Amino acid sequence: MALYDKVMELSKRRGFLWPSFEIYGGTSGFITYGPYGVILKHNIENLWRDFFIYKQENFIEIETPIIMPSAVFEASGHLEHFTDPIIACLKCEKRYRADHLIEELTGVNVEGLSISEMNEIVKEKDLKCPDCKGALGEVELFNLMFKTNIGAYKGDVGYARPEAAQGMFVEFKRIFNIMREKLPLGIAQIGKTLRNEISPRKGVTRLREFTIMEVEVILDPEEINNCPGFEKYKNTSISLLTASLQQKGEPPVNITIEQAVEERLLDNKWLAYFLAVSKSFVKTLGVAEDKIRFREQLPHEKAHYSKQTIDLQVYLDGQGWTEIAGHAYRTDWDLSRHIKFSGVDMRVFKKTEAPLTVKKLVLKPNKATIGPDFQKDAGKIIGELNKMDPVEVKNKLDSQGFIEVAGRRLTSKHIEFEEYEEVVKGKKFIPHVIEPSYGADRLVYTALEHAYTEKEGRVILKLPVKLAPIQVMVYPLVERDGLPEISNQIYMELLEKGFRVEHDVSGSIGRRYARADEIGVPLGVTVDYQTLEDKTVTVRDRDSWSQRRIFISELADILKQFFEEKISFDQIGYPVNKIE
Amino acid sequence: MALYDKVMELSKRRGFLWPSFEIYGGTSGFITYGPYGVILKHNIENLWRDFFIYKQENFIEIETPIIMPSAVFEASGHLEHFTDPIIACLKCEKRYRADHLIEELTGVNVEGLSISEMNEIVKEKDLKCPDCKGALGEVELFNLMFKTNIGAYKGDVGYARPEAAQGMFVEFKRIFNIMREKLPLGIAQIGKTLRNEISPRKGVTRLREFTIMEVEVILDPEEINNCPGFEKYKNTSISLLTASLQQKGEPPVNITIEQAVEERLLDNKWLAYFLAVSKSFVKTLGVAEDKIRFREQLPHEKAHYSKQTIDLQVYLDGQGWTEIAGHAYRTDWDLSRHIKFSGVDMRVFKKTEAPLTVKKLVLKPNKATIGPDFQKDAGKIIGELNKMDPVEVKNKLDSQGFIEVAGRRLTSKHIEFEEYEEVVKGKKFIPHVIEPSYGADRLVYTALEHAYTEKEGRVILKLPVKLAPIQVMVYPLVERDGLPEISNQIYMELLEKGFRVEHDVSGSIGRRYARADEIGVPLGVTVDYQTLEDKTVTVRDRDSWSQRRIFISELADILKQFFEEKISFDQIGYPVNKIE
């Protein structure tokens, strides 16, 4: 059996994760986390928070809705760009990813081809439906966002977010204010994200519903190479597969992030810094260094908002190098668009050393048109207009063609604008954005696959101690002679002290150990007949299967030190048979 | 200003929560959590886990998808029952909640009226659109689930879940197996839930997207009064407003949960037990005892699956008694329906003391029809049929009218069933379900409102220590003379040791204290000129504004004890001016 199948079989049987809705035949692209999977996922999310929020200065977390009104995605460009080409069979009505189908049927590399170029291939090669041999229709763009209606009005269209990022952008102004207007500002979010994939893959690699972990690092573009954390990580070496190496068919280079910036392989120091942080994070999940690499997205792969995107890939059995994170330099794309579409000024002011000459806009109500058009309201309208921000008024007029003042609609014929130059001691700018973005589900699977080992025909899930869903399993050797009462006391004490602990009472001790190894429980505590004599228990190591004895009275303190990684297993208690 | 408005203003200004999509004019029913709101919400969720998962035996958490295929909601009854009556204006097309509109315009109490009864009132009283005075259409049922399509096929309808519960029911069989087939089994879930409300209320009381925290306690109906936790809580007194008291217009009674079960005011002990657990949980959020009561839902209010539902209500300013949790006895409704609709047997086997006589079903392939209808496949079909579970085959035939065997469709004419009696040592049953269900967002607001206090014209958010988003704020008295360097060291040490801590450097110390009070930070640590002399700092109490001094070397340990609620503020260090 392939490693992938073994990991998925274990995941299902032991309660990590499995495909959802099985009793109704399943719906691909959706997974369920069982009792151990949920804790593993939360542990990974919290470790991510540690690296990407808590250890960063002025980084915070927010939570925004999954369903958002269409205005957000018009501005973000997702309505226009977040699409895949599809093609339908005119006979059986089955739909395919057009690019995948053409590649499959013709072997032609369609990367970067336009819709009309794909249509030409379909006609030229006279491609048919592989299922029923029927004729194929035209290649079309299919938007990958789940669409719905908000409220009882048919017109109020909303979409499930395909990324968490837009929630951060639309809230930028308020968060910036709450955080006392300091840049760089990191706004993070962990939450559900949905993409209506046409052909979800097996397992967790391309899900329709998944958990994203994203930080939008919002900064002054003039400070994009002023990254305080860079110094500490500058000698971190990464395996980097640039776009140009891919185009030449060459393997990745090993290079420090400092060199990569110097050689202009990476756009800037903030982007480079996060590659190093990401590598460090992924290593703590138990992924070996040689199974981690960074791949630059090719020009035609990049999202519409990105200047440079570097994926972090890990090597997975059967799937090869698989993207588990992206690091995108989104520039000012998103904030510019939201400023334009909402008419709200989200620019940031900064003082400049030397005075600057800037262009200013003045708004002039056109009394010649306002008077006749609005009669008795004219005075009030002019009064209000004079209090408004000229830039916002102009943006609104440009974007929606009118502006509402005192309950009346004014168009460009009612307002004139004049530009003049002014000397100021600061300037307003649209911040830029660097975005590290992770898929939590892929990380869960990666951690499981990289922890999966076999020994003497049995499975051991060697999860890093920090990730293990259950830290300690407590056992009575047998279910009689007062042993379960003692083990229950130990279980209750460890539970009370905040350990993630289970009490496993029934069945042969060998089978119970085997189950704990499969769940990845680092330590087992066994109450046996010697316990009745000297109040000691054995502690069993998942990875080596070796055992040590320790007094019950010392147990909680020593386990705490073990899980804080202050001592190793060999420093727990005493060798077996050496206590008297 | 009303308390509600004060709390919402503070929430917005200080980064707890506010209405989403403000820059696009807002969409009601959606909120955003800012930096402090996210942490407060997570703290409440984790406290809930403590009460409803960790402290309960054999209770675990899972995570299932938000989008589910329509088959799930056909079975659960939500497609049919999860509706509100709406009525539209034929002229301006505005839509209203029909029951609310009729009550508003006529004063008639429409509780429990049918659609046709409401239509009669509309005609009889000749009701018009309150907005444009246009004629109104017919009252119709509007389904409150957000609808979407899964994949590129138009036919694959999916819905966003209106409760987490269905995720637990469809996964029951697998979880039961993973948890080694023990009942009672508690399956919990915390996650996003969506309801397409026609008229969301202001604030957080009726949201379209919210976080639900639910446990489905799955148990043997014959053991519904065998609740191990009941003993400990039986003397807990609750304020209980039964359906019958409401119908008589009488106030709630104060009664212990034991009495309430004895007097049959509560259906069973498991339900009663959770009312007591809920009361204890809500008190730890800072809600005073006299602001908590339990109200039984009236017959016409109860969801279609419920035998008895008891809401937990808290008193909120301006909104009165507000439901923040429901406790429903869902009986075997959900599991029965999923068994019927999926054809999968999810019954549980139990041994019986005495042997039982049970009815058994035998499946007999009808060779007289199978032979002619399926010719050469007949032998294979009969062979496969004999291996299948008769009950599952019968269920499938009953529900979908056919069954697929060896790739062919068989109907009831191909299969006969015979019943006979058998003596067995056990029986299969469909488990029953008790469900405590919480809205996390309402709890966040409740905690904020109940913590909101004013003192000398300033706001103090007296959140319980366990809930406070930030535990410690560290300050230099002034931003010079080496004080910020020392305070930064203290900040870094506390951060490293896992405290939720912030470093607030700039501005007058009074303003910084005021900000911390508004965020609800229990303790402030200030580095001042005396620190330079004797390595002590002051610790300031949010609630009393009093201060004590402590050596920096002792700070982390003492703070840890304070936040574990082992010592009170007066036991921290020494009174100010008493250190030499």
Please give the pLDDT value at position B154: 67
Q: A35 and B178 in contact by Cβ < 8 A? A: yes
Given the DSSP bridges, would you call strands A292-296 and A237-241 parallel, antiparallel or unpaired?
parallel
> What residue in A sits closest to B32 (Cα-Cα)?
A64
Two structure tokens written together for B433: 């379900």
Q: Please tell me if residue B358 touches chain A, with a CB cutoff of 8 Å.
A: no
Q: What percent of chain A has pLDDT over 70?
A: 99
| Minimum-distance CB partner of B209 among A30, A67, A495 | A67
* Span A273-310, pLDDT tens digits: 999 999 999 999 999 999 999 999 999 888 888 999 99
Q: A65 and B30 in contact by Cβ < 8 A? A: yes
Contacts of B30 in chain A (CB under 8 A): 65, 67
Q: Please tell me if residue A182 touches chain B, with a CB cutoff of 8 Å.
A: no
Q: What is the DSSP letter of B52?
A: I
> What residue in B sits closest to A24 (Cα-Cα)?
B342
Q: B14 and A178 in contact by Cβ < 8 A? A: yes
Q: Please tell me if residue B326 touches chain A, with a CB cutoff of 8 Å.
A: no
Q: B24 and A170 in contact by Cβ < 8 A? A: yes
* Span A133-165, pLDDT tens digits: 999 999 999 999 999 999 887 668 999 999 999
Q: Looking at the domain B349-429, which fold is it?
A: 3.30.720
CA distance A427 to B73: 56
Which residues numbered 113-152 in A keep a CB inside 8 Å of some CB on B? 142, 146-152
Please give the pLDDT value at position A454: 97
> What residue in A sits closest to B41 (Cα-Cα)?
A63
CA distance B541 to B549: 12
Q: Please tell me if residue B71 touches chain A, with a CB cutoff of 8 Å.
A: yes
Q: What is the DSSP letter of B59?
A: E
Residue count of chain B, please give it.
580
Look up residue B410 and give its amino acid.
L
Q: Are A358 and A427 in contact (CB under 8 A)?
A: yes
Q: Please tell me if residue A194 touches chain B, with a CB cutoff of 8 Å.
A: yes
Q: Are A335 and A75 in contact (CB under 8 A)?
A: no
Judge whether residue A336 has pLDDT over 50. Answer: yes
Contacts of A564 in chain B (CB under 8 A): none
Q: A146 and B67 in contact by Cβ < 8 A? A: yes
What distances in angstroms separate CA A81 from CA A74, A161, A336, one per listed residue?
A: 10, 14, 17
Contacts of A178 in chain B (CB under 8 A): 13-15, 34-35
Contacts of B161 in chain A (CB under 8 A): none
Instruction: Dump the DSSP string for B122-170.
Output: HHHTT-B-TTT-PBB---EEEE-S-EEE-SS-TT-EEEE-SSSHHHHHH
Domain boundaries, chain B: 3-78+147-333+435-439, 84-108+115-138, 349-429, 470-575
Q: B63 and A15 in contact by Cβ < 8 A? A: no
Specify the 3-state DSSP secondary structure of A497. coil
Please give the pLDDT value at position A580: 42
The owner of tokens 């589900």 is A441
Q: What percent of chain A has pLDDT over 90?
A: 79
| Minimum-distance CB partner of B148 among A33, A86, A147 | A147
Q: B149 and A196 in contact by Cβ < 8 A? A: yes
Q: B61 and A39 in contact by Cβ < 8 A? A: yes
Residue count of chain A, please give it.
580
Q: Please tell me if residue B175 touches chain A, with a CB cutoff of 8 Å.
A: yes
Q: B67 and A194 in contact by Cβ < 8 A? A: yes
CA distance B550 to B548: 7
Q: Which residues pair with A272 in a beta bridge?
A: none
Q: What percent of chain B has pLDDT over 70?
A: 99
Q: B21 and A72 in contact by Cβ < 8 A? A: yes
Q: Please tell me if residue A54 touches chain B, with a CB cutoff of 8 Å.
A: yes
Q: What is the DSSP letter of A199?
A: S
Q: Which CATH number fits domain A83-143: 3.50.50.60, 3.40.980.10, 3.30.40.230, 2.20.28.10?
A: 3.30.40.230
The owner of tokens 């502006």 is A403
* Span A183-227, pLDDT tens digits: 999 999 999 999 999 888 777 888 999 999 999 999 999 999 999
Contacts of A29 in chain B (CB under 8 A): 150
Confidence band, pLDDT 50/70/90 cuts, at residue A577: low
Q: What is the DSSP letter of A291?
A: G
CATH class of the domain whose range is A470-575 = alpha beta
Q: A33 and B63 in contact by Cβ < 8 A? A: yes
Q: A67 and B194 in contact by Cβ < 8 A? A: yes
Please give the pLDDT value at position B426: 86
CA distance A278 to A256: 14
How far off is chain B from A430, nearest CA to CA, in Å? 16
CA distance A204 to A19: 9
Q: List the CATH code of the domain at A3-78+147-333+434-439.
A: 3.30.930.10
Q: Which residues pair with A17 in a beta bridge?
A: A33
| Minimum-distance CB partner of B69 among A27, A31, A68 | A27
How far off is chain B from A525, nearest CA to CA, in Å? 20
Q: A38 and B62 in contact by Cβ < 8 A? A: yes
Q: Please tell me if residue B35 touches chain A, with a CB cutoff of 8 Å.
A: yes
Q: Please tell me if residue A60 touches chain B, with a CB cutoff of 8 Å.
A: yes
* Span A348-375, pLDDT tens digits: 999 887 887 878 888 989 988 998 999 8
- Which long-range contacts link B534-539 to residues 24+ away (Cβ below 8 Å)? B534/B579, B534/B580, B536/B573, B536/B579, B537/B490, B538/B576, B539/B569, B539/B572, B539/B573
What distances in angstroms separate CA B481 from CA B507, B531, B532, B539, one per listed residue?
A: 15, 11, 10, 20
Two structure tokens written together for B463: 């959140």
CA distance A97 to A199: 7
Q: Please tell me if residue A162 touches chain B, with a CB cutoff of 8 Å.
A: no
Helix, strand, coil % in chain A, rounded to nearest 5: 40, 30, 30
Q: What number of other Cβ atoms are within 10 A of residue A238's Cβ?
A: 24
Q: Are A35 and A12 in contact (CB under 8 A)?
A: no
CA distance A9 to A493: 34
- Element at B232 (helix H, strand E): helix B230-233
Q: B151 and A197 in contact by Cβ < 8 A? A: yes
Please give the pLDDT value at position A154: 67
Judge whether residue A380 has pLDDT over 80. Answer: yes
Is B3-78+147-333+435-439 in CATH node 3.30.930.10?
yes
Q: A27 and B170 in contact by Cβ < 8 A? A: no
Judge whether residue A1 has pLDDT over 90. Answer: no
Which residues numbered 476-505 in A keep a CB inside 8 Å of some CB on B? 495
Q: Are B236 and B281 in contact (CB under 8 A)?
A: no
**A-B contacts at Cβ under 8 angstroms:** 203
> What residue in B sits closest to A26 (Cα-Cα)?
B69
| Minimum-distance CB partner of A35 among B23, B61, B208 | B61
Q: Please tell me if residue B194 touches chain A, with a CB cutoff of 8 Å.
A: yes
Two structure tokens written together for A371: 């008077």
Regions of chain B short of the pLDDT cut 70: 154-155, 577-580
Which residues numbered 376-435 in B keep a CB inside 8 Å of some CB on A? none
Please give the pLDDT value at position B580: 42
Q: Please tell me if residue A253 touches chain B, with a CB cutoff of 8 Å.
A: no
How far off is chain A from B24, nearest CA to CA, in Å? 6
Model's pTM, two decimal places? Answer: 0.88
Q: Please tell me if residue B154 touches chain A, with a CB cutoff of 8 Å.
A: no
Number of H helices, E strands in chain A: 21, 29
CATH class of the domain whose range is A350-427 = alpha beta
Q: What number of other Cβ atoms are within 10 A of residue A141's Cβ?
A: 14
* Span A483-520, pLDDT tens digits: 999 999 999 999 989 999 999 999 999 999 999 999 99
Please give the pLDDT value at position B553: 97
What phi and psi values does residue B264 have, to the nearest 5 degrees?
60, 30
The b-or-e profile of A540-549 (16+ CB within 10 A means b, else e) is bbbeeeebbb
Q: Please tell me if residue B197 touches chain A, with a CB cutoff of 8 Å.
A: yes
Interface test with A, best of B12, B27, B141, B195 (most A CBs within 10 A): B27
